[in-house]
Amino acid sequence: MNLTLKIWRQKDANDKGKMVDYKVTDISEHMSFLEMMDVLNEQLVASGDEPVAFDHDCREGICGMCSMYINGEAHGPDRGVTTCQLHMRMFKDGDTITIEPWRAKAFPVIKDLVVDRTSFERIQQAGGYISVNTSGNTQDANAIPISKVAADEAMDAATCIGCGACVASCKNSSAMLFVGAKVSQYALLPQGQVEAVERVQNMVAQMDLEGFGNCTNTGACEVECPKGISLENIARMNREFLRASLKG
Amino acid sequence: MSGFFKSSIGRKVTMALSAFFLMFFLLQHFAINILSVFSPDTFNEVSHFMGTNPLIQYALQPVLLFGVIYHFVMGFILEFKNRSARVVSYAKNNGGANSTWVSRNMIYSGLFILIFLIIHFMDFWIPEINTKYIVGDMSGLHNGSFRYFHELQEKFVPIWRVALYCLGFVFLALHLLHGFNSAFQSVGANNKYTNGLKGFGKAYAILIPLGFIVIALFHHFNH
């Protein structure tokens, strides 16, 4: 298939940036979206132009690196997939595809389609962990009884890959689905109880400090999340925060 | 707790609490107004009770005013903060693919409700306060009989006012279609009852404003 691509080009963080049109030809419908971008970049390199910078790593939907806003949706029009899992069969011959970086004050553009998502790392560092002695004396996790329901829900929350599609999709650039998932994965397990109060307070404080917007429950994040992280995690975080505030 | 009120979640929760109060008030307001359709005398008596009972006038009324003002002011503060969280807009954004129009436009439905409320206050609340607390007439009487039903009917004679009120109630319905369930999510209530609650919320969001529209039209055509 032959396509017209409208891609955000920005030399560096200080550049104003603009949309630039490109043509790509003979794209197979079996290609992934990133493979299509590879074809474009080969074309650009061959013609002496600067290739389009974009994040990618595992290309199998688990690393959370790919991050494109395609035709007005995070990770494109398909559901439950990352950009690397998005296939060109989702598009038609002759289509014009608009490709932009995640847009959020807390995710500044580094170059072209690459954004700085270290704000997520700082939120994690604020409390997204449990303090355990890993010197060899660690208790076997299986020795602690955990209900199947709690284990499953914690695992579901832990499947968040931190790609930032929730922030990109939210009209408010809110990070509450990400933070909700990270709070939930520990809140549901006995190992997470010891630091529960500090965790949610510190992670929410860091989230606010990073300049993310506030959740208005539109649900866009849940729909666009490649891992199907549920809004229930935001509700759980709200409960945890309320409980922590009353205790603290 | 001071950090709670400054936090993003704390503000969400207080918005939701004020919303719960306002939704309860709306239900009570509707329950009284619908009496005007079925029994003008009962409407007059209940209106007089609500307008002169010290507990309602001096305790609940200030809470209601605070709730209304807080909900609007905090709504604008959060909207401003949310808009500042995205400095550069998308060239192409397909919001309809993942969320409802009403959920994305709460600020606009809210703004229209604010305009409607200002007109509504000027029509009913301010004259009422003037009569009772400036003029000092707490009798509720006009020419020897209760004035409330008569005043209500008079207000809905001009068609422009009826149309404006109907439009206000349409925006109220749009606001409630998202706001009702959003308030529960904000206070952390997302559980096995959520689906049922969503149905109830939709019914509330449509039936209550529709009921107010019916009342306005009834008095316009039965004057």
ipTM: 0.94
Domains of chain A: which residue ranges? Answer: 3-100, 117-247
Query: Residue A136 has what pLDDT?
Result: 80
What angle (nearest 5°) sits at the alpha carbon of residue A198, between those of residues A191 and B78? 125
Fold of the domain spanning A3-100: Ubiquitin-like (UB roll) (3.10.20)
Q: Is residue B90 part of a domain?
A: no
Answer yes or no: are the C-beta atoms of B43 and B61 closer than 8 Å. no
How, if at all, do strands A3-9 and A96-101 pair?
parallel
Query: Residue A140 has what pLDDT?
Result: 81
* Residue B29: domain span: 6-82+106-221
Cβ of B82 within 8 Å of Cβ of A214? The answer is: yes
Q: Which residues of chain B does A69 touch, with a Cβ-Cβ cutoff of 8 Å?
A: 90
Residue B2 has pLDDT above 70, yes or no: no
Q: How far is CA A172 from CA A228, B7, B167, in A?
A: 20, 16, 28
Query: Residue A206 has what pLDDT?
Result: 98
Q: Is residue B89 part of a domain?
A: no
Q: What are A211-239's pLDDT values in tens digits?
A: 999 999 999 999 999 999 999 999 999 99
Please give the CATH superfamily to which domain A117-247 belongs. Alpha-helical ferredoxin (1.10.1060.10)
Query: Residue A158 has what pLDDT?
Result: 98
Cβ of B99 within 8 Å of Cβ of A232? The answer is: no
Q: Which residues pair with A174 in a beta bridge?
A: A213
Q: Is residue B173 part of a domain?
A: yes
Confidence label for B174 from pLDDT (cuts 50, 70 and 90): very high
Query: Residue A247 has what pLDDT?
Result: 86
Cβ of A223 within 8 Å of Cβ of B99? The answer is: yes
Q: What is the rounded average pLDDT of the residues B135-147? A: 94
For chain A, what percent of residues have pLDDT higher than 90? Answer: 94
Give the gap in angstroms from C-alpha B8 to the nearest C-alpha of chain A.
Answer: 6
Residue A138 has pLDDT above 80, yes or no: no
Average model confidence (pLDDT) across chain A: 96
Cβ of B190 within 8 Å of Cβ of A235? The answer is: yes
Q: What are B83-139's pLDDT values in tens digits?
A: 999 999 999 999 999 999 999 999 999 999 999 999 999 999 999 999 999 999 999
Q: How far is CA B29 from CA A19, A244, B26, B65, B168, in A?
A: 53, 36, 5, 14, 15
For chain B, what is the domain count?
A: 1
Q: Is residue B87 part of a domain?
A: no
Q: Which residue has the tokens 């004259």?
A: B127
Confidence label for A142 from pLDDT (cuts 50, 70 and 90): confident
**Interface probe, candidates B92, B103, B193, chain A, greatest A C-beta count within 10 A:** B92
Query: Residue B179 has what pLDDT?
Result: 98
Query: Residue A135 has what pLDDT?
Result: 80
Q: Is residue B94 part of a domain?
A: no
Residue of A nearest to B99 (CA): A220
Q: Is residue B192 part of a domain?
A: yes
Give the gap in angstroms from C-alpha A23 to the nearest C-alpha of chain B.
Answer: 19
Other Cβ atoms less than 10 A from the Cβ of B120: the count is 16
Residue of B nearest to A211 (CA): B85
Choose the closest CB to B8 out of A77, A214, A242. Answer: A214
Residue A51 has pLDDT above 90, yes or no: yes
Identify the CATH number of the domain in which residue B180 sits: 1.20.1300.10
Average model confidence (pLDDT) across chain B: 96
Q: Is residue B96 part of a domain?
A: no
Q: What are A74-89's pLDDT values in tens digits?
A: 999 999 999 999 999 9
Cβ of A234 within 8 Å of Cβ of B185? The answer is: yes
Choose the closest CB to A217 out of B13, B94, B103. Answer: B103
- CB under 8 Å to B53, separation ≥6 — which residues? none
Q: Which residues of chain A does B7 touch, with a Cβ-Cβ cutoff of 8 Å?
A: 204-205, 208, 241
Q: What is the rounded average pLDDT of the residues A1-20? A: 98
Q: What is the rounded average pLDDT of the residues A193-209? A: 97
Q: Is residue B184 part of a domain?
A: yes
Q: Which residues pair with B129 in a beta bridge?
A: none
Q: Which residues of chain A does B105 touch, with a Cβ-Cβ cutoff of 8 Å?
A: none
Cβ of A236 within 8 Å of Cβ of B190? The answer is: yes
Q: What is the rounded average pLDDT of the residues A105-132? A: 97
